[in-house]
Amino acid sequence: MEVVGQGKGVKDLTGAGMNRKRRRIISIFIFIALFLVSMAYQMPPVIAAADGAQEEIKIGVLAHRGEEEALRMWTPTADYLSEQVPGYTFVIVPLDNDNIASVVENDGVDFVVTNPGSYVELEYKYGVSRTATLKNLRQGEAYDINDLGDLKGSSFMAIDERAFGGWWMAWRELKDNGIDPYRDFSNLTFCGFPQDLVAYAVRDGEVDAGTVRTDTLERMEAEGLIEIDEFKVLNRQYVEDFPFLLSTRLYPEWPFAKLKHTPDALARNVTVALLNMPSDCEAAKAAKCAGWTIPLDYNKVHDCLRELRVGPYEGYGEVTFVEAVKQHWYWFVLIVLVILLLAGGAGYVVRLNRKLDASYHELELSRNNLDMRVKERTAQLQMELIERKKVEDDLRIALQKREELEFIINKSQVIAFLWRNDEGWPVEFVSDNIRQFGYTPQDFLEGHIAYADIIYSDDLERVGDEVAMYSRQGVTEFTQQYRITTKSGDVRWTDNITWIRRDENGNITHYQGVVLDVTLRKLAEEKLLKLNRIYSVISQINQTIVRVRDRDKILGEACRIAVEYGELRMAWIGIIDEQTKLVNPVAYSGVEDDYLSKIKPISVEDVPSGRGPTGTAIREGRHHVCDDIEKDPQMAPWKEEALKRGYRSSIALPIKQFGKVIGSFSLYASVPHFFDTEEIQLLDEVINDISFALDSIETVKKKQEAEDALEKSEARYRRLHESMTDCFAQTTMSGEIVDVNRSFLEMLGYTDDEVGKLRYQDITPAKWHEIEMKIIETQVMARGYSEVYEKEYIRKDGTVFPVELKTYLLRDTDGKPYGMWALVRDITSRKQAEEELEKHRFHLEEMVAERTAELERMNRLFVGRELKMIELKKKIAELEDKSKQVRT
């Protein structure tokens, strides 16, 4: 929203354009609460248009710029939905702040598009629920900044005291700046719709300042109604990627919400149509938006209304007697019970006294006391009647509460079940709201259908295994998620919470549970999951492009990444043979099973063998999608082989080199209609990255240009360096730390803000400063990088530890150095291992020296012994000679 004043440019105060965690039910009280909350989402069964008739669906729109402008902006959206959702005709109903609540309350429309504040109030009072959020769009320039300081004592104009973008958002900012608009303004007026009246009043000097929602001034200028330079913007705020002049906190954009009576199936179809609305279609252009996105979190809107105590929070914080009773009911019940016990005790004493008196008079009057006995018996009968009436009243209240609980259950989307522990789980109780799935309670209670009969066939075995596992584990409750089949054949996703009943011997007799339809949430989760997979493909391919400089390896890795991270069935890349004009496969991954050899040849000419997705994409130079291979006539030559391998849809993307198509990147999915608009845009980005990498590999002359382009894409690759296990740091030439990754922060113990105030020298012991400067001068500055070298770092807690790193020089487009970056690794463990190894080596050397000395000593003993043996042998020989001489 915008606050405008006379002169140049003042704008306020909010902006638009911003899944609940599932809570485990742990007791019967939370179980009842779940029923109560779910009432807000109860919808009647879907009533299809009969005999081909077009049922009229009304979309209420808050006409903040008048009825005529609302019809002009939103009628194309109604026409778009009429085309996308068969069987229905959508019309626009302009509403204002005075009638929007009554129209919604009386089901005058089926859907409503309004501002976030109005939506929160309608959600609270009438149970509307958002299905999509507007994505705003604008092209324009920024303006100068001013503040709110001079508004005290001035006249001020807003739209309506109940307008969110036209008053409440501005009021919150004024309040935060110490301004009470009802006290500090000389005059506060509300002009009503359209919001253009505020801009005219400020421009013409009727008031000093005013407030409108964001984009009002820009749209009026685009329509030639005002010159935006005639206004100035107060309390200017800057938010990255937000395109409008802004004075307040950002809040979620206008939601597209369904009413409680709107059929569930219709809501799903409308939501899918809105989420798939292209940003360049006529409906988006007329609404001046970029289409619709998944419903955002509106807690910020609740915070605003709660702080101002308006809408559903009017009187917030004031505790009434009824609220006190609700919050502390157990104390009131305890007090009442104590009073009843005291009254019962008193009655008992009274009766006892009466019996004593009766006995006394009986002794006094002897057997003539029959009348007294009759009176005593009458009193006893009266007391018994009172007690019986109390029991009857308690029973009536309990039955009434049971009826109320059954009413709540049957009005909610949460279906209650009681299953017998028997084959197929026969149903002994089911709430009446099972009708939302097309069944009646009698279908189950009369034994026509068991619960297992409605569980989707692909999930039944898993569900049975999980129930058996939980039953063996002895738990009292468990949760499951699986699909069921409605009576009409539709498949719905459900969340199921089950409690286990056991008899006195511990044997399971029944399962009691609640089932909630979560199909819409599941669809949104699946869409997000698909997008996350594509983002992973982009990230991994970009990492490959940065790391690998060989064309064939890049193409092979691209196929592998597409299959592994994108969860595709198969991917292959073909390059054009310029002589034969045929596409030759050079890389593939996934379930191929000789498919590529069986579908040859694929031509790039306009002939039957070239009219499939691959040939068409190459000829037209743009992506070509086959949503259903089985039904697409252009896939006839290859359909049989593709279906054998589980291919159901495909996309072919042209690979270009220096602007010329040289081949194609073909992807196959296992389900039809896999590739939607957002995924195709991201895949186009992937193929552009691959083409860019091929360009940079092809010519060395453009290497510097490629590095500059990659440098400009730093934001795209930020998540890559954040996910690195090695540490990364970037500094200026004078040593200020300008960028690090999460591993670097964890290694040193600093936060982002803390490390941004440090110089590289602050985390390096002084003894390394001179050594490191020499390395920078002789290696980094001389050849652009250093060898891997070791040094020490200082952690935030003061501990010093060893690291090894390699430093690289950063240059700008003119070749001038502007900084350095380094890959750093903590080698504490390695150093400790080296020290331990040195200790073992020293110990081994000592053992070797000792062993050597011992061997030398033993050697000396052996040598002496040998000498003595030689001398002894000589003496024996001499004696033998003498003996011979004597004998002779």
What DSSP assignment string belongs to 539-575?
A: HHHHHHHHH---HHHHHHHHHHHHHHHH--SEEEEEE
Q: Say if residues 90 and 49 touch (Cβ distance below 8 Å).
A: no
| H or E, element range at 668 | strand 660-669
- Can you give the pLDDT at residue 3? 52
- Can you give the pLDDT at residue 722? 58
Q: Which two tokens stand for residue 297?
A: 């979190």
CATH number of 541-712: 3.20.20.120, 1.20.1530.20, 3.30.450.40, 3.30.230.70? Answer: 3.30.450.40
Contacts 24+ apart (CB under 8 A), 219-222: 219/65, 219/288, 220/196
Q: Which residues touch 327 (CB under 8 Å, ≥6 apart)? A: 319
Tell me if the bond preceding 94 is cis, omega within 30° of 0: no
State how far the Cα of 777 lies from the Cα of 762, in Å rounded to an integer: 20
Tell me if the bond preceding 194 is cis, omega within 30° of 0: yes
Q: Say if residues 160 and 1 touch (Cβ distance below 8 Å).
A: no
What DSSP assignment string belongs to 81-95?
A: HHHHSTTEEEEEEEE
Q: Which two tokens stand for residue 251?
A: 């809040």
- Can you give the pLDDT at residue 44? 38
- Can you give the pLDDT at residue 884? 64
- Cβ-based neighbour number of residue 188 at 10 Å: 17
Q: Say if residues 80 and 273 touch (Cβ distance below 8 Å).
A: yes
- Can you give the pLDDT at residue 764? 94
Residue located via tokens 């058996």 = 468
**pTM of the predicted model, to two decimals?**
0.33
Q: Which two tokens stand for residue 390?
A: 């109390």
What is the dotted CATH code of the domain comprising 412-517?
Answer: 3.30.450.20
Q: Say if residues 287 and 113 touch (Cβ distance below 8 Å).
A: no
Q: Output b/e per residue, 492-505; b: 16+ Cβ within 10 A.
A: bbbbbbbbbeeeee
Top CATH class of 724-826 equals: alpha beta
Kindly state which CATH superfamily the domain 1-18+53-318 is placed in: Periplasmic binding protein-like II (3.40.190.10)
- Can you give the pLDDT at residue 478? 94
* Alpha-carbon separation of residue 230 from 64, 95, 244 (angstroms): 22, 30, 17
Residues facing 680 on adjacent strands: none
- Cβ-based neighbour number of residue 118 at 10 Å: 29
For the chain, residues with pLDDT lower than 50 are 5-51, 138-145, 706
CA-CA-CA-CA torsion sign (183, 188, 193, 195) = negative
Residue located via tokens 């950002």 = 250
Q: Say if residues 111 and 256 touch (Cβ distance below 8 Å).
A: yes
- Sheet with 582-590, edge to edge strand ranges: 582-590, 570-577, 660-669, 649-657, 624-626
Q: Say if residues 511 and 498 touch (Cβ distance below 8 Å).
A: yes
Half-sphere exposure (Cβ direction) of 883: Cα atoms closer than 13 Å? 6
- Cβ-based neighbour number of residue 508 at 10 Å: 13
Half-sphere exposure (Cβ direction) of 377: Cα atoms closer than 13 Å? 6
Pairing of strands 155-158, 209-212: parallel
State how far the Cα of 486 lies from the Cα of 226, in Å rounded to an integer: 56
State how far the Cα of 283 lies from the Cα of 276, in Å rounded to an integer: 12
Please report, as a single letter, which amino acid is at residue 839: K
Residue located via tokens 């007791």 = 27
Q: Which two tokens stand for residue 174?
A: 């004024």
Pairing of strands 737-740, 789-794: unpaired
Q: Say if residues 281 and 137 touch (Cβ distance below 8 Å).
A: no
